[in-house]
Amino acid sequence: MHPQSASSESDAFSIRVLPCAEPAEAVLVPFSAFPPPQHEREVRVDFVHRLGAALRSRWSLESEMFLYIPRLNRGGGNAMLAARAKDWSPKQGLGVWPSREPPKLWTKEEFMDLNLGQQLRPLMDTVFHITRKAAQREVAESLRGLGSLLEFLLPAGDTDFFKRSKNLLQPTLKEPAFQSYKLLVPLLDAAAIDGATFDQLSRWMCGARAYVWESDEDHGTLVLSLAPLAAVLESLGARRLPESPGEWLVPAAQTARR
């Protein structure tokens, strides 16, 4: 067998359907780590790029893109942001998990109970919003697969995402230090999606029709859509695995832009 052909065959991978209230659907594109080995990143990021493009095209969607600050140090993400900040125009905001307890400040007891070498729990989940739309493609091509990218896909022309997200999340914040944030963004993982009704998912999405999140918690890129994904996945060459109905195979021929 030709070496390149053998390599291409090894590029095939499966994506997993996650428990989710219908008609919404969620899939996980697995990554061995964030950041993954270079070739794995090329192959799987290419698929995530094409899946996002297919969703935008099929349902006339536009992106709001964010960087998750606690993981931005991976793979040189901080350095890339610093070098391109003028062109990307990042604006800091707060990520809030609607399915979890709201963020809270450290307490005196937490400091007192800290053992030598032990770290305090993470205080909050901060994000950068990429406010310059023209920079989104460059941001995605530079940083996707490193573990910090978050994307909401909204109907074209929808300008009320941030108003809806603030209305949803600000009442849950109990402490003034967090209430002062003007830009609030919902964060979701597979556990949140599994335990939610469709109405809850719709509210948490704040008008978005799809959500793409590089999820450490789930060991991959989570893609949530409020509409079924089967037709979109099939258009990209993926097919259901008969022996495992909860999985789709992305064939080698469809994985990389070669």
Residue 188: what pLDDT?
97
Does the residue 249 lie in any domain? yes
Residue 1: what pLDDT?
41
Does the residue 192 lie in any domain? yes
Counting the structural domains of the chain, the total is: 1
Q: Looking at 31-89, which runs of residues are DSSP E strands?
A: 61-68
Does the residue 172 lie in any domain? yes
CA distance 141 to 173: 34
- 197-212 pLDDT, tens digit per residue, is 999 999 999 999 999 9
Does the residue 191 lie in any domain? yes
Q: Is the pLDDT of residue 158 over 90?
A: yes
Tokens matching residue 141: 């091509």
Does the residue 2 lie in any domain? no
* Full domain range(s) for residue 208: 12-114+121-254
Does the residue 159 lie in any domain? yes
Q: Name the nearest CA neighbour of 224 among 255, 193, 187, 196.
A: 193
Q: Is the pLDDT of residue 21 over 60?
A: yes
Q: What is the mean pLDDT of the chain?
A: 91
- 38-58 pLDDT, tens digit per residue, is 999 999 999 999 999 999 999
Does the residue 7 lie in any domain? no
175-194 b/e with 16+ CB inside 10 Å = b?
A: eeebeebebbbbbbbbbbbe
Does the residue 4 lie in any domain? no
